[in-house]
Structure 1
Amino acid sequence: MEENYLQTIKTKYFDYGKEEMDYLASLDETLGAAMARMGRVERVIIPDLFTALIYAIVGQLISVKAVRTIWERMQVKFGEISPQNLAMQTADEIQSCGMTMKKAVCINNIAQMIAQGAFNLDELNDLSDTEVINKLMTLNGVGKWTAEMMLINAMERPDVVSWGDIAIRRGMMKLYGLPAITKGQFDEYRLGYSPFGSVASIFLWEISFE
């Protein structure tokens, strides 16, 4: 995410530092060498859980460029990305920003549930990673990848490496020189990054786009 199209909402950088990088480097020389070459990589996050959830849904299965375009349109059309604002819109109005009707219906339904108090996002902060994923997946249109992106890109949970994220898998393959990667290989690396898997993910994302 870039700040230029997120200026109207509060963002910050994922909080990590030398301790996490040194720990990962001590466990994985290949990753350590990449981090030393790249230096600190910033990851913009959206602390507001509702805004981050809608952003993640918009971003499902489309390019980063397309997400930016749709997001800018939504901010121009609706103003603040809040449950109350989006609950007032029709699915057609949300869809007109450039997303699929399926996503628009999901966003509208989720906004209404939260605005009416039928789903409390704030409760997520007291749950474990697995519990957060399970609770979010009760929402129509939210799968495991979307929930895992929430853990990293909103909640700053420290140990998330998503198998469902194509860019993370691609970054891992490039880092270790693998022509392909199995779930077993992925999990071996993921467990090796613990308890700072999210920091590894930040670097794997960057590597995937190099």
Structure 2
Amino acid sequence: MYFSYGETETEYLKRRDPRLGEIIGKIGHVDRETDTDLFSSVVHHIIGQQISTKAQATIWARMQAQLGEVNAEGISAAGIDTLQAFGMTFRKAEYIKDFAEKVKTGEFALQEISRLPDNEAIQALASLKGIGVWTAEMILLFCLQRPDIFSFDDLAIQRGLRMVYHHRKIDRKLFEKYRRRFSPYCSVASLYLWAVAGGAIPGMKDYAPEKNRRK
């Protein structure tokens, strides 16, 4: 399943920002895979922190092969040693086990997340061990498919903004200007900024001073 959007979102963004409109026209529709289950999405995102996509996929495949469906009951029964054996760190195994236990006992009301507004959902997810604001924002975008997520902490989005709008630096004030411009479809704008940052349009460059670039 991919993040769902269409002409309503893209035409709005084109009207609001002709430069982004040019980018949308050049790239076309962006297919970004999404998660369908909130519990497994949280686990998947914890696994993927600070490792490559390939390493994340390997660990995830091992977990699915042994546990089948990734749910609170299976994680709780597996224990930290088993989780580590899939290839993750002890700390990540602790985070995942803690999350599973909280869901299993009802201490963390996972199903309530989908009913909360964005800021409250982010705050609730970020209260979990191993989940920061950026990870919570990505869960809202790629699992719950919230339409208006725009993460200041995402370095690739900042890079995309520099490349599209020729900025040397993206500070919070400038970032919020773009958030207001793209809202209520910031998530779709994010898809295109990620694509630009990833090299979807040959010849575009990052205008940040080279010594200040972080990848």
> How far apart in 2 are the matches of 1:67 and 1:171?
24
Q: What are the Cα deviations for residues 19-40 of structure 1, in whole angstroms up to 9, with x where unaligned?
A: 1001001111111101100000
CA shift, 1:55, in A, is 1.2
Fraction of identical pairs, as percent: 40
Q: 1:49 aligns with which of 38, 47, 52?
A: 38
RMSD between aligned residues? 1.3
Q: What are the Cα deviations for residues 31-63 of structure 1, in whole angstroms up to 9, with x where unaligned?
A: 110110000001211121101111111122222
Q: 1:32 aligns with which of 2, 16, 21?
A: 21
Q: What are the Cα deviations for residues 58-80 of structure 1, in whole angstroms up to 9, with x where unaligned?
A: 12222222222222222223221
CA distance 1:145–1:27, change in 2 (3 Å): same
CA shift, 1:13, in A, is 1.3
Counterpart code for 2:7: K
> How far apart in 2 are the matches of 1:98 and 1:126?
34
1:20 is the counterpart of 2:9: yes
CA shift, 1:91, in A, is 1.4
- Number of the residue aligned with 1:110: 99
Q: Which moved more, 1:195-204 or 1:75-84?
A: 75-84
1:100 is the counterpart of 2:89: yes
Number of residue equivalences: 199
Q: Which moved more, 1:74-83 or 1:147-156?
A: 74-83
Q: Which runs of 5+ in 2 are unaligned?
A: 200-215
- Number of the residue aligned with 2:209: none
- Number of the residue aligned with 2:112: 123
> How far apart in 2 are the matches of 1:132 and 1:147?
8
> How far apart in 1 are the matches of 2:179 and 2:54?
28
Q: Which moved more, 1:170-179 or 1:51-60?
A: 170-179
SS in 2 for 1:81: coil
Q: Which stretches of structure 1, 4 residues or more, deviate above 6 A after TM superposition?
A: none
Q: Which moved more, 1:157-166 or 1:179-188?
A: 179-188
CA shift, 1:175, in A, is 1.8
CA shift, 1:130, in A, is 0.7
- Number of the residue aligned with 1:190: 179
> How far apart in 1 are the matches of 2:117 and 2:153?
19
SS in 1 for 2:78: coil
SS in 2 for 1:190: helix
> How far apart in 2 are the matches of 1:175 and 1:73?
39
TM-score (norm 1): 0.89
Bigger CA radius of gyration: 2
SS in 2 for 1:207: helix
CA shift, 1:116, in A, is 2.1
1:205 is the counterpart of 2:194: yes
TM-score (norm 2): 0.88
Q: What are the Cα deviations for residues 139-169 of structure 1, in whole angstroms up to 9, with x where unaligned?
A: 1111111110111011111100111112222
Counterpart code for 1:33: E
1:66 is the counterpart of 2:55: yes
CA shift, 1:181, in A, is 1.8
